[in-house]
C-alpha cells in the first residue's frame, strides 16, 4: 500500500527531499546484512510504498510539492533530478510567485481557498497512481506562514475529501529561540487545527535534532541540510519496511494503519515523538559495535527520562513504584521528571533482531493506569539493517514528551494574546479572536489530559 506525501512550504519541501533520498539510499544500500531475496523483498516494499515507476525505470517519488515561492521547489526538483537515481514527477508541484510573509492567517484564509482546487487536483492525480492508498504524510512546519497556515488548510481538505484515508502530519517544532515574533501564535493555531483534522501528529523538535547534530554527529557548522538529514534518518528508521508479524517474513503492508491503531486511537492523545539509537557520523560507524541489550537499555531510559538522544541521559530517573498512593506518585513524578507513556512502538532493524529482549518495555510502571502493557506496547522487526547501521532501534512514543514544550508555547502565546499584540495581522485575514480562544481551549485540554496520565 502506498503513502502519498504532501510537502508544504520551504521546510516541508527541503525535508521531503531528504526523506525520499534517505529512503531510496537505504533501500539500495549494499550492506543490508541479509540474503539477496530478503533484500529484494525489502526494496520492492519500500518502492511500492514511496515511489512509482516510469517507463525509463527512474522511480518517481509519490509526492506533491506545494509552496508559495518558486525558489525552494525549483531547488528541490533539480537536486532530485541531478542525482539520477530518483526524481519528482514533472507535474507534481504547485507554486506561486509570491510568499505569505510568515502570516498564518494569509496562508490559511487566502492562499488556501484560492488554490484549493489546483492543489487538491494534484493530490488526486497522485492518489490515482496508487494501486491502493495507505494514507498521507503531510510535512510542514508549525510556526511558519505558508507551510503552517496552508498546511492546516490542506489537511482539513484532505479530511473532507479522503475521510477514510489515514493522515499523519510530520510537524517541525520550531526552535525555542526562534526569529519569527509571531511563531507562538502560528504554532497554537496550527496545532489546534491539525488536532481536529489529522489522525496523528509526529513531531520533530528542531532543538533536539540540532543537539544531535552537535553532540552525536560532531558537525561543527550545522546547516539546515544536516538537520534535515538527521530528521530523514529518523523517519526512515520508522517507515522502512518491517515484518508483518511475529514469526513472519513478509513485509508489513499497512504501516500507517498499524502504527495509528496502536498509538493514537484516543482522540485527545495524538502527539507522537520519535527517538532513535544509535545516531552517529558515518566515520564513527565503522568502529562501533552494539548489542541489543545495550541499545534497548539506553532507549528505555531515553523514554523514561525524556532524553532526546543517547548522550547525557539522566539515569537517576526511575519508574514510580506501584502501590504508592496517587499523591505520592504525583510528587515523585514532578521531582524526578518521569515521563509516563500511553503507548509505545519500538522498531528494531538488523542482525539477530529476534534475540532482542524487550521485557523492560512491558513494565506496567512505564504506562498510564488505564492501559495495560499488552495493549500499550508493540514492536516491529526486520533483519535487514538500516542505512549501514548493523543494529538500530527506533521508538515512536505517545507520551508526555511534549507537554513541557507545548505548555511553554501556549503560555507565551497567551501572554502576547492578553495584550492583543499583533492580532490585527490575523484578524485582517479572517482569523478572529474567537479562533484564538478556541485554540487555547483545545490545547489547554490536551495539556491537561497528558498531565493526568500519571494517575
Partner 1 sequence: MGRRRRRRRVDPADAARALPEAIAALSQTLPAGPSPETFRRAKFDRPEAAPAFWRLLFCVLSPQPPNGASASFSPEAQVRSVKLALRTQGYPRRALAQLPDDGSQGGRELLLALAWLLAREPLPERLLAQNRVQLGDEMHVCECEALASPGPPAPSVEADGCVDIRHLQWLMGKLRFRWRNLMASQQEQCALLGKIHSYTRGCHSDRSLGHLSVTETELLRDPEGGRQLLRRLQRENARLQAALEWRRRELVFWQWMDTVLDACPPEASQPTFLPRIPTPGAGALEPLVRELQALQGELREAVEARREAWEAGVGGRGPEWSAVRTALREAVGQDLAALRRACERSGSLAQPHGPRRLVRTEAGAPRGPGLRAPEVIEALRSREAHLEVVLRRLQGQCRQELARLVGALPGLVWILPPGR
Q: Which is nearer to partner 1, 178 or 257 (CB)?
A: 257
Nearer to partner 1, 132 or 419 (CB): 132
Question: Measured between alpha carbons, how far is 338 from 110 in angstroms, rounded to an integer?
Answer: 43
Residue found by looking up cell 552517529 in the block: 280
Minimum distance of partner 1 from residue 163's CB (angstroms) = 9
Q: Are 176 and 206 in contact (CB under 8 A)?
A: no
Q: Which residues pair with 51 in a beta bridge?
A: 61
Please name the residues in contact with 364: beta carbons below 8 A apart, sequence gap of 6 or more: 322, 372, 373
Q: Is 408 helix (H, G, I), strand (E, B) or coil?
A: helix
Q: Is the peptide bond before 178 cis (omega within 30 degrees of 0)?
A: no
Kindly indicate which of the ranges 84-92, 97-105, 322-330, 368-376 contains the residues binding partner 1, using the contact rule CB under 8 A. 368-376
What nine digits make up the cell of 271? 502527539
Q: Which of 195, 292, 380, 436 binds partner 1 (CB under 8 A)?
A: 195
268 binding partner 1? (CB under 8 A): yes
Is 3 a binding residue for partner 1 by CB under 8 A? The answer is: no
Site residues for partner 1, 165-184, by CB under 8 A, read 165-166
Q: Write the burial class of residue 267 (CB in 10 Å: 0-12 exposed, 13-18 middle, 19+ buried).
A: exposed
Q: Is 70 in the site for partner 1 (CB under 8 A)?
A: no
Minimum CB separation of residue 443 from partner 1 in Å reads: 9
Cα Rg of the chain, angstroms: 21
Q: Does 4 engage in binding with partner 1 (CB under 8 A)?
A: no
- C-alpha cell, 422: 499583533
Task: Candidates 90, 369, 408, 437: give the one binding partner 1 (CB under 8 A).
Answer: 369
As measured in angstroms, the least distance from the Cβ of 66 to partner 1 is 23
Q: Are 194 and 141 in contact (CB under 8 A)?
A: no
The distance of closest approach from Cβ of residue 35 to partner 1 in the complex, given in angstroms and rounded to an integer, is 25
d(CA 157, CA 10): 21
Query: At closest approach, how far in Å is the CB of 195 from partner 1?
Result: 5
List binders of partner 1 among 403-442 (CB under 8 A): 441-442
Binding letters toward partner 1, positions 215-254, x by CB under 8 A: ---------------------------------------x
Question: What is the β-pairing status of strands 391-399 and 271-277?
Answer: antiparallel
Instruction: Pick the closer one to partner 1 by CB: 55 or 131.
Output: 131
Helix (H), strand (E) at residue 341: strand 341-350
User: Does 125 sit near partner 1 (CB under 8 A)?
Assistant: no
C-alpha cell at 229: 538529514
Please pick, from the candidates 30, 56, 164, 287, the single residue that binds partner 1 as defined by CB under 8 A: 164
**In whole angstroms, how close is the CB of 448 to partner 1 at the nearest point?**
10
Query: Which of these ranges, 108-116, 180-188, 194-202, 241-249, lies near partner 1 under the rule CB under 8 A?
Result: 194-202
Among 266, 354, 404, 420, binds partner 1 (CB under 8 A): 266
Cell of 194: 491539525
Of 60-68, 170-178, 257-265, 327-335, the segment contacting partner 1 by CB under 8 A is 257-265
Site for partner 1 contains 136 (CB under 8 A): no
Considering only 371, 407, 416, 440, the residue that binds partner 1 (CB under 8 A) is 371
- Using CB under 8 A, pick the residue from 133, 139, 140, 366 that binds partner 1: 133
Q: What is the closest distance, in whole angstroms, from the C-beta atom of residue 432 to partner 1 in the complex? A: 17
| Nearer Cβ to partner 1 (309/366) | 366
Binding mask 271-300 for partner 1 (x = CB under 8 A): ------------------------------
Report, in this order, helix, strand and coil percent for the chain, each rounded to 5: 50, 20, 30
Half-sphere exposure of 90 (CA within 13 A, CB side): 2
**CB-nearer residue toward partner 1: 39 or 159:** 159
**Cα–Cα distance measured from residue 455 to residue 452, given in angstroms and rounded to the nearest whole number:** 6
Q: Which of 37, 84, 117, 131 binds partner 1 (CB under 8 A)?
A: 131
Which residue's CB is nearer to partner 1, number 165 or number 427? 165
440 contacts 414 by C-beta, under 8 angstroms = yes
Question: By C-beta, is 195 or 417 nearer to partner 1?
Answer: 195
For residue 399, give the 3-state DSSP assignment: strand
- Residue closest to 176 by CA, chosen among 409, 424, 447, 437: 409
C-alpha cell at 102: 510568515
Strands (E), 28-149: 51-52, 60-61, 63-67, 93-95, 133-141
Nearer to partner 1, 131 or 246 (CB): 131
DSSP 108: I
Residue ranges that bind partner 1, judged by CB under 8 A: 1, 131-134, 164-166, 192, 195-197, 254, 257, 260-261, 264-268, 369-371, 375, 441-442, 445
Amino acid at each position: 500500500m502506498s503513502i502519498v506525501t504532501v510537502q508544504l512550504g520551504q521546510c516541508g519541501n527541503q525535508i521531503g527531499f531528504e526523506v525520499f533520498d534517505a529512503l531510496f539510499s537505504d533501500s539500495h544500500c549494499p550492506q543490508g546484512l541479509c540474503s539477496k531475496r530478503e533484500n529484494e523483498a525489502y526494496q520492492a516494499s519500500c518502492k511500492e510504498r514511496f515511489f512509482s515507476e516510469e517507463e525509463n525505470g527512474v522511480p518517481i517519488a509519490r509526492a506533491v510539492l506545494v509552496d508559495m515561492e518558486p525558489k525552494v521547489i525549483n531547488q528541490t526538483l533539480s537536486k532530485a533530478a541531478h542525482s539520477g537515481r530518483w526524481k519528482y514527477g514533472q507535474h507534481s508541484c504547485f507554486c506561486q510567485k509570491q510568499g505569505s510573509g510568515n502570516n498564518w492567517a494569509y496562508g490559511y484564509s487566502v492562499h488556501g481557498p484560492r488554490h484549493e482546487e489546483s492543489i487538491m487536483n494534484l493530490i488526486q492525480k497522485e492518489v490515482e497512481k496508487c494501486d491502493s492508498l495507505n494514507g498521507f504524510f503531510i510535512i510542514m512546519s508549525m510556526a511558519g506562514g505558508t507551510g503552517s497556515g496552508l498546511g492546516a488548510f490542506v489537511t482539513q481538505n484532505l479530511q473532507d475529501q479522503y475521510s477514510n484515508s489515514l493522515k499523519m502530519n510530520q510537524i517541525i517544532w520550531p526552535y525555542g529561540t526562534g526569529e519569527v515574533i509571531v511563531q507562538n501564535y502560528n504554532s497554537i493555531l496550527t496545532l489546534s487545527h491539525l488536532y481536529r483534522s489529522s489522525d496523528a501528529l509526529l513531531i520533530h523538535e528542531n532543538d533536539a535534532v540540532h543537539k544531535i547534530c552537535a553532540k552525536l554527529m560532531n558537525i561543527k557548522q550545522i546547516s539546515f541540510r544536516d538537520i534535515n538529514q538527521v530528521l530523514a534518518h529518523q523517519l526512515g528508521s520508522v517507515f522502512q519496511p518491517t515484518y508483518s508479524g511475529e514469526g513472519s517474513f513478509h513485509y508489513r503492508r499497512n504501516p500507517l494503519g498499524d502504527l495509528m491503531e496502536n498509538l493514537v486511537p484516543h482522540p485527545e492523545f495524538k502527539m507522537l515523538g520519535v527517538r532513535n539509537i544509535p545516531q552517529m557520523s558515518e566515520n564513527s560507524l565503522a568502529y562501533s559495535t552494539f548489542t541489543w541489550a545495550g541499545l534497548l537499555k539506553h532507549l528505555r531510559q531515553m523514554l523514561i527520562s525524556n532524553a532526546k538522544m543517547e548522550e547525557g541521559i539522566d539515569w537517576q530517573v526511575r519508574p514510580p513504584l506501584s502501590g504508592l498512593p496517587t499523591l505520592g506518585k504525583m510528587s515523585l513524578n514532578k521531582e524526578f521528571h518521569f515521563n509516563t507513556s500511553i503507548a509505545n512502538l519500538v522498531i528494531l532493524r538488523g542482525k539477530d533482531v529476534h534475540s532482542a529482549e524487550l521485557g523492560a518495555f512491558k513494565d506496567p510502571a512505564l504506562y498510564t493506569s488505564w492501559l495495560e502493557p499488552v495493549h500499550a506496547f508493540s514492536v516491529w522487526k526486520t533483519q535487514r539493517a538500516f542505512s549501514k547501521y548493523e543494529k538500530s532501534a527506533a521508538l515512536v512514543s505517545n507520551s508526555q514528551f511534549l507537554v513541557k514544550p507545548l505548555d511553554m508555547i501556549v503560555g507565551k502565546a497567551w501572554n502576547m494574546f492578553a495584550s492583543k499584540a499583533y492580532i490585527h495581522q490575523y484578524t485582517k485575514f479572517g482569523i478572529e479572536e474567537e479562533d484564538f480562544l478556541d485554540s487555547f481551549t483545545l490545547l489547554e485540554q490536551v495539556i491537561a489530559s497528558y498531565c493526568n496520565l500519571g494517575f
